[in-house]
A and B are shown apart, each in its own frame.
Chain A
Amino acid sequence: MVTERAEVRTQTACETVAPSRSALPPWLIWGGMIGLVQIFAMATVQPLGVSTAYPQFVGWLVDKIAPGFAESQPYLQKIGAKIGWEVMLVLGLALGAALSSVLPGGRATAACELPNVFRSAWGRGFAAFLGGFLILFGARLAGGCTSGHMLSGIAQLALSGFLFGAAAFTTGVLTASLLLERTNGS
């Protein structure tokens, strides 16, 4: 496992240095690819959506430890505590990332360090955990995340997607700007 070293000043540039022979920039190639994956998802089962899988998996897991949990929770009755398309999609995400990181060209594109605003590796680790908590709680309250509400919602011209995107970017931009301000550049 690569431990992400949280160092501020060592970071100079955040270029994606993919050794690509193609004239197309990586963001265009991979952004376009994600769009095509979206069309595949829409043509087969349903639009891309990641965050439902988290409570489904948690419900499934807790129900194994404490039988009857899934049945007792109204939210799990609504979404189902099951290993279906959503949880398999999430499994595939981790698998696809693992595949990309071991295949040629994977390392160069991942070389993008974090501007450290949390001083220590412990602080940074806690921030990742806390941030993870907030994105899932927020996404479940809103009914979707970046994929479900933005990649899929806005792509379907859903008004809920536009509202979610506007709300998330408002606090996201404010928080990130405040945090990066404290690091004095990078």
Chain B
Amino acid sequence: MKRLSLHTALFFLLFIILAANVVRAEDIDILDDSFYEDSPKEEITPDPFEGFNRLMFTFNDVTYTWVMEPVASNYSEIIPEDIRQAADNFCYNLQEPVRFVNTLLQLRFADAGKVLTRFAINTIGGVGGLGDVAGREFGFKRVDAGLGETLEYWGVTDGFYLVVPLLGATTFRELFGTTVDGLSMTPYYFLANSWQEGAMIYTGRRVNSLSLHLGDYEGMKALTIDPYRALRDSYFQYRDQTRQHHARPSANDKL
């Protein structure tokens, strides 16, 4: 365990050195025409392995269409939606401590409080996190925070765009963040006795979360001119969106 934290610290140091030239994209208002003139995120984040990435994109696409989607749709027919939602809530709740640490590292103290409250309410009142009582009854909506965002906050650049088998669109920095968040901090991977079990938990989670979003992907893909570019842009736009913690559209935005 001591070794692991030493490695993590070394990695952090490496990143800080790598991030010597800090580039922070200013947020452009969508109502401003310059929003359409260039695309800052994509231009800052190079895609030097486009050939490889396109290959991985095709691999993911084929895997999705022929393996993940059929499995998830069978699964969704067998297991009722509320149970699938409960499973999703359960996994989400287990990761709240990771989000708590990251909100603190991003100096988002109000959000840190929310995450902690959510964790307490859902673990106790939501029977170990199966129900999202905090979100539904108390209005504490899910708060996103991960190591990738923490690194971004402290000026670490994306590095380059990457498409990873099964995981999908990411960048070098984000992949590092997701890996650390997912493997060394999330408690249920520690419960697994072997990597096979860990992989099974991971796949199970993917299938479960996919079963809640069936049809979204095909719908999007059918209407694209270049699905690879469409996904790359969606990835950056969506990520930006989830990281605007002050101006996010929410259900409470009523007149």
Do A and B come from the same complex? no
